Amino acid sequence: MKIDSISSWLPNFNSSEPLVIAGPCSAESIEQMLTTAHAFKNIPAVKIFRSGIWKPRTRPNNFEGLGEIALPWLAEVKKQTGLLTTTEVATAKHVELCLKHGVDILWIGARTTANPFSVQEIADALKGVDIPVMIKNPINADLQLWIGAIERINNAGINKIIAIHRGFSVADKLEFRNDPLWRIPMELKVKFPELPLICDPSHITGDRELIQKVCQKAMDLNMDGLIIETHPTPDTAWSDAAQQVTPDRLKTILSQLSLKTEYCSDADFGAQLNVLRNQIDRLDNELLHTLKLRKDVVEKIAKAKIEQKITALQRNRFDQLMKERMDAGKSLGLDELFIKEIFDAIHDQSVKLQTDLFERSKK
Ligand code: PEP
Ligand code: MN
């Protein structure tokens, strides 16, 4: 995949700082857009103005965006402030209208990324066009679907691509509106190191009080930027009111970020990091040896169960084991959910080993 760096196409972008995209969830009026955009003069990190014009809503009869009449307002924002503009497109018609009205950057929303037919329709409409496209992750936690959408747009000849991590819709919602599942964007980054990746803390959190900490996490994970919904009076917003921040608040959030670099040239620090990494390597090897010893014991148990003709799984034993492991982990200061996930995986493997041996013992 050939991908251009952001600095190759965004003239005033300094790659040692995060790219910041801000603006309201939805375009509501020209005054609302201009008021927001002019407030960004005060926040030089903001390089791109966002605003939804066609809004994908989960249920009908909600505000679905003002549509085409709002496109000239984006052009006015650009004219008055010099900010580049971006909006969401979901169909070939949206693409055509954005190109007609000089929108600078397009984005594909999470619901659209999940549908290869729609992504292909957009890709076909973009053939022969040179415009940056941002691609949000699909709503479901499927990295392949996200990669597929990026490839479809790239195959249409678009090299100016940014991936946006906006979290995933999951059954057990914990802290956030959309679960960040950080492992997925990190895997994308490892697979495509050239692909710029930015974070959308607004749609991850659904709550303006949590935006700061998600921004910081994104920076700590070396993401390239942030897209933050910003509205002059968030509580009155026509969509996503709870997650939008005022321009003042945006300024504070950005000023409180602690920025890090991926590497550092200090030799002492390098040596110190190596010592610690060697410790990690040794501990990981010990973990692997322990897992091998555990596997040997599981096989002995399986053989004993086969002789006694008892089932591979004893429900009581599993419940008791899990409770003990979680209590022990907790008293060691380990994260409970993490311990649960590890022991679920270990136990699944143990049941699999036993049932495989049961199966073989019949032959
Ligand atoms: C948006 O950015 O306003 C939006 C609708 O986002 P998503 O596709 O992430 O839900
Ligand atoms: Mn929104």
Instruction: Strands of the chain (E only): list them.
Output: 19-23, 46-50, 84-88, 105-108, 133-136, 161-165, 197-199, 225-229
Contact 152, 114 (CB under 8 A): no
Q: Round to whole Å and give the CA distance between 41 and 195.
A: 28
Residues near ligand 1 (Cβ within 6 A): 25, 52, 56, 109-110, 136, 166, 203
Q: Can you tell me the mean pLDDT for 203-227?
A: 97
Within-domain flag for 295: yes
Contact 257, 216 (CB under 8 A): yes
Quickly state the pLDDT bin for 93 (edges 50, 70, 90): very high
Query: What is the SS3 assignment for 117?
Result: helix
Quickly state the pLDDT bin for 242 (edges 50, 70, 90): very high
AA letter at 334: L
Which of the residue ranges 27-36, 206-215, 266-275 would you say has the lowest mean pLDDT? 266-275
Within-domain flag for 155: yes
pLDDT at 103 over 70: yes
Q: Which position has the token pair 């429900």?
A: 315
Q: Round to whole Å and give the CA distance between 114 and 126.
A: 18
Residues 132 and 274 both lie in one domain: no
Residues with Cβ < 8 Å from 221, sequence gap 6 or more? 182, 185, 186
> Model confidence over 9-42: pLDDT tens digits?
998 899 889 999 999 999 999 999 999 999 999 9
Instruction: Strands of 26-167 (E only): list them.
Output: 46-50, 84-88, 105-108, 133-136, 161-165
Q: Round to whole Å and give the CA distance between 92 and 97.
A: 9
Q: Number of C-alpha atoms within 13 angstroms, CB side, residue 252?
A: 10
Of 228, 255, 282, the last residue of a domain is 255
- Ligand 2 centroid – CA 97 distance (Å): 21
Within-domain flag for 180: yes
Residues 117 and 166 both lie in one domain: yes
Q: Which position has the token pair 């600095």?
A: 7
- Ligand 2 centroid – CA 8 distance (Å): 28
> Model confidence over 312-341: pLDDT tens digits?
888 888 899 999 999 999 999 999 999 999
∠ CA 170-174-178, nearest 5°, is 45
Within-domain flag for 72: yes
Quickly state the pLDDT bin for 286 (edges 50, 70, 90): very high
Q: Which atom of ligand 1 is nearest to the CA of 203?
A: 9
pLDDT for 363: 66
**What backbone torsions phi and psi does residue 133 show, to the nearest 5 degrees?**
-130, 130
**Residue closest to 138 by CA, chosen among 107, 109, 178, 117:** 109
**Residue closest to 334 by CA, chosen among 347, 321, 325, 322:** 325
Residues 26 and 171 both lie in one domain: yes
Within-domain flag for 261: no
What is the residue-averaged pLDDT of the chain?
Answer: 95
pLDDT for 264: 85
Q: Number of C-alpha atoms within 13 angstroms, CB side, residue 54?
A: 17
Which is it for strands 105-108 and 197-199: parallel, antiparallel or unpaired?
Answer: unpaired
| pTM for the full predicted model | 0.84
Question: Which amino acid residue places its CA nearest to atom 8 of ligand 1?
Answer: 109
Tell me the CA distances in angstroms from 174 to 43, 145, 209, one per residue in order: 33, 24, 15
Residues 279 and 321 both lie in one domain: yes
Q: Can you tell me the mean pLDDT for 176-202?
A: 97
Residues 148 and 251 both lie in one domain: yes
Contact 159, 3 (CB under 8 A): yes
Per the rule left: phi > 0, alpha: psi between -120 and 50, beta: everything else, 352 is alpha
> Model confidence over 54-71: pLDDT tens digits?
998 888 888 899 999 999
Q: What residues make up the domain containing 183?
A: 6-255
Structural domains of the chain, count: 2
**What backbone torsions phi and psi does residue 119 show, to the nearest 5 degrees?**
-60, -40
Q: Round to whole Å and give the CA distance between 7 and 100.
A: 25
Within-domain flag for 262: no
Structure tokens at 189: 């980054």
Residues 284 and 141 both lie in one domain: no
pLDDT at 124 over 70: yes
Q: Round to whole Å and give the CA distance between 257 and 250.
A: 11
Question: Which amino acid residue places its CA nearest to atom 10 of ligand 1?
Answer: 110
Contact 98, 108 (CB under 8 A): no
pLDDT at 218 over 90: yes
Residues 175 and 235 both lie in one domain: yes
Within-domain flag for 260: no
Within-domain flag for 345: yes
Residues 211 and 314 both lie in one domain: no
**Residue closest to 200 by CA, chosen among 262, 258, 243:** 243
AA letter at 224: D
Q: Which atom of ligand 1 is nearest to the CA of 25?
A: 3
Provide the percentage of residues in the chain whose pLDDT is more than 90: 88
Residues 239 and 282 both lie in one domain: no
pLDDT for 146: 98
Q: Which atom of ligand 1 is nearest to the CA of 239?
A: 3
Q: Can you tell me the mean pLDDT for 197-202?
A: 98
Question: Which amino acid residue places its CA nearest to atom 1 of ligand 1?
Answer: 25
